[in-house]
């Protein structure tokens, strides 16, 4: 079996079925070349509320899986809506679970903000604050505001607006360039 040239973990901050943020990441995965394993993180809703006690005793399986998926990824891309002036609690909860495992330390990471122009900056700033706190390696050229026009996701859940697709392709290219320039971390091939 051929190993993928790169593995990307795509984390949406929205649990909504018709999410524009998830559509953007799904489109990113769709645009990825065949030798790139780009997968959407599917378990945001399943993560328990962060508890430092279990960190030291029995780590929940879904949290262990999250950490393995981050460790196995060459880069992580986030796309999140803004809730109440910040990032959704469910995404902050995910990020809190990564702190103890140092999972995101030095991990190439990027954010995409698909909110209307000038919107969503509270979530964007909050995400950047956390990514800096956990010492993720922000891929600056990949971190972009790509305001998705209303209704820009088709029935297949993919973004159809051509300008947005062009921007998403540029994000993907920047992320893959950063992965290619980063030596693989320990445990980078532990998940199949």
Ligand X SMILES: Cc1cc2nc3c(=O)[nH]c(=O)nc-3n(C[C@H](O)[C@H](O)[C@H](O)COP(=O)(O)O)c2cc1C
Footprint of ligand X (CB under 6 A): 14, 16, 19-21, 81-85, 115, 119-120, 122
In the bound state, the residue with its beta carbon closest to ligand X is 81
Give residues with Cβ within 8 angstroms of 61, minimum separation 6.
none
Residue among 108 and 147 whose Cβ is closer to ligand X = 147
Report the nearest approach of ligand X to the CB of residue 111 (Å): 14
Report the nearest approach of ligand X to the CB of residue 9 (Å): 18
Report the nearest approach of ligand X to the CB of residue 169 (Å): 20
Residue among 71 and 87 whose Cβ is closer to ligand X = 87
Alpha-carbon gap, residue 24 to 30, rounded angstroms: 10
Report the nearest approach of ligand X to the CB of residue 127 (Å): 13
Residue among 74 and 81 whose Cβ is closer to ligand X = 81
Residue 119: CB atoms within 10 Å? 15
Residue among 50 and 83 whose Cβ is closer to ligand X = 83
Give residues with Cβ within 8 angstroms of 57, minimum separation 6.
none
Q: Would you say 142 and 77 are in contact if contact means Cβ atoms under 8 Å apart?
A: yes
Secondary structure class of 135 (helix, strand, coil): coil
Helices (H), the chain: 20-31, 52-56, 61-72, 89-99, 121-133, 162-180
Residue among 160 and 182 whose Cβ is closer to ligand X = 160
Residue 5: CB atoms within 10 Å? 14
Alpha-carbon gap, residue 127 to 91, rounded angstroms: 9
Report the nearest approach of ligand X to the CB of residue 190 (Å): 30
């Amino acid at each position: 079996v051929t190993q993928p040239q790169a593995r990307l973990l795509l984390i949406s901050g929205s649990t909504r079925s018709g999410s524009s943020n998830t559509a953007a990441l799904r489109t990113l995965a769709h645009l990825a070349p065949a030798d790139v394993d780009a997968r959407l993180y599917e378990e945001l809703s399943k993560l328990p509320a962060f508890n430092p006690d279990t960190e030291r005793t029995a780590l929940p399986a879904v949290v262990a899986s999250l950490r393995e998926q981050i460790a196995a990824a060459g880069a992580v891309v986030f796309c999140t809506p803004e809730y109440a002036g910040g990032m959704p609690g469910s995404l902050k909860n995910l990020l809190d679970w990564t702190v103890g495992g140092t999972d995101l330390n030095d991990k190439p990471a990027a954010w995409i903000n698909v909110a209307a122009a000038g919107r969503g900056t509270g979530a964007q700033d909050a995400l950047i604050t956390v990514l800096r706190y956990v010492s993720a390696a922000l891929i600056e050229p990949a971190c972009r505001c790509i305001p998705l026009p209303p209704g820009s996701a088709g029935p297949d859940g993919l973004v159809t607006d051509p300008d947005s697709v062009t921007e998403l392709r540029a994000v993907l290219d920047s992320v893959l360039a950063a992965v290619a320039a980063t030596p693989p971390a320990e445990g980078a091939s532990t998940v199949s």
